[in-house]
Structure 1
């Protein structure tokens, strides 16, 4: 058997990991990875809609949700880093998997950079999803502190080895795949457009600075 990291003579049967990435542009690279994870989630959901007679969606929903949430996380982190640079700060992004906190941080930086009302348009649908998600994964501990486990799509148990919400629920926990695809096509578009917009502004500014120095 060939090595996994090897070429196929037919270039359309190859996946080039460093074709879209850039050795010197780390924010751009995060944008590329975020796009890949979110796109894969929607593509998998679409494939399930085409043919689910074997109920494969009941298994694939876990990587679908993992890829979706990870894509959202990386988009938000890339945007935070980008906005911090545009605001002339050395900060990058919070090393957290908490989507609610990452969204609030990204929104705050967005408003600092652009205080127009429409500047937060990209976040409206995403915030609805994250609020809905956290009603499922957020619990209050005995000490009164809130705890959320974003690993629910990776493991059937929490970090405390307790069953995830969909294990303990007596009724079926269901995701409408048609609604999923329609909704997250919109979220994906909003995140991708905003992230691309910020990248373009940062690249233009870098080009102008380079011209001024020469």
Structure 2
């Protein structure tokens, strides 16, 4: 099949996208693309007050957000599997966000940054999962069983939606960056099973000099107890 009508860089003023034939695209980059597309479209509707399109473009916006979430969760689960955590193909496949999110919360190490971000976005991901559990609601006017999509009328405010998109994408990007760091620490063996490289560095700064640990006036046991209480 000839795709010259699409893949034609001539006289394009440098506006060429690179797709296929490389390894730069992964779950992470795909997720970022869907989040960015949703935000750009939402911003255009708001800034240009495209009131005639409000009820039309809402679905591609919501679908892009939903699919970005799905890809972001799969990206993190894939990273965990690379670190030897028991993640199966079945855990990563499928489109049910609630199932993916539950698996992620169960399998993710209890590092402070993961705990904090999961807690901060749990309500947003749960809400999207409830609105579109099977990746049909925002793509089609009817489900496979011919029942109406979102049968009860709902009103979505674009300003509130954009705020949620901004918060969600920002937190998920931080989450995936932390996920990538976790993989790197695993590969370089610069972490333990329980503590990240950052926490180990904090511990080394917190504890007194090794030569003083056995001294009667050493606060080693106090500092050790404080650290355990913080990260237990």
Q: Residue 103 of structure 2 is aligned with which of 102, 105, 109? A: 105
In the TM superposition, what are the counterparts of 1:82-121 in structure 2 within 5 Å? 82-89=79-86, 91-92=88-89, 93-110=91-108, 113=109, 115-121=110-116
SS state at 1:153 partner: coil
What secondary structure, in the 3-state scheme, does the structure 1 residue paired with 2:146 have?
A: coil
Alignment correspondent of 2:33: 36
Asked if the contact 2:77–2:87 (Cα under 8 Å) also holds between the matched residues in 1, the reply is no
Instruction: Indicate the residue corresponding to 1:143 in structure 2.
Output: none
**TM-score normalized by structure 1?**
0.75
In 2, Cα distance between equivalents of 1:182 and 1:135: 19
Q: CA RMSD in A?
A: 2.8
Q: Map Cα deviations across residues 77-102 of structure 1 (whole Å, 9 max, x no partner).
A: 01001012223546354312111111
3-state SS of 2:136 partner: helix
* Aligned residue in 2 for 1:192: 173
Q: Give TM-score scaled by structure 2 length.
A: 0.70
**Correspondences of 1:3-18 after superposition (within 5 Å):** 3-10=5-12, 12-17=14-19
Is the CA contact (8 Å cut-off) linking 1:8 and 1:14 kept in structure 2? no
**Unaligned stretches of 5+ in structure 2?**
191-232
Report whether the alignment pairs 1:76 with 2:38.
Answer: no
Structure 1's 175 and 105: CA in aligned 2 closer, same or farther, altered over 3 A?
same
Instruction: Tell me the matched-pair count.
Output: 187
CA shift for structure 1 position 53? 3.9
Contact preservation (8 Å) 1:98, 1:150: yes
The structure-2 alpha-carbon separation of the partners of 1:50 and 1:154, relative to structure 1 and needing over 3 Å to count, comes to same
Deviates more, 1:64-73 or 1:6-15: 6-15
C-alpha separation in 1, matches of 2:74 and 2:66 = 12
- What is the Cα deviation at residue 72 of structure 1? 0.3
Is 1:153 aligned to residue 138 of structure 2? yes
Q: Does the CA-based 8 Å contact 1:37-1:67 persist in structure 2? A: yes
Q: Give the aligned partner of residue 55 of structure 1.
A: 52
Q: Which segments of 5 or more consecutive residues in structure 1 lack a partner in the other structure? A: 138-147, 210-214
- Name the larger-Rg structure: 2
Could you list the structure 1 runs, at least 4 aligned residues long, displaced by more than 4 angstroms after superposition.
134-137
Map 1:114-153 to 2 at 5 A. 115-137=110-132, 148-153=133-138
Rounded to whole Å, the distance in 2 between the matches of 1:207 and 1:9 is 46
Shift of the alpha carbon at 1:37?
Answer: 0.6
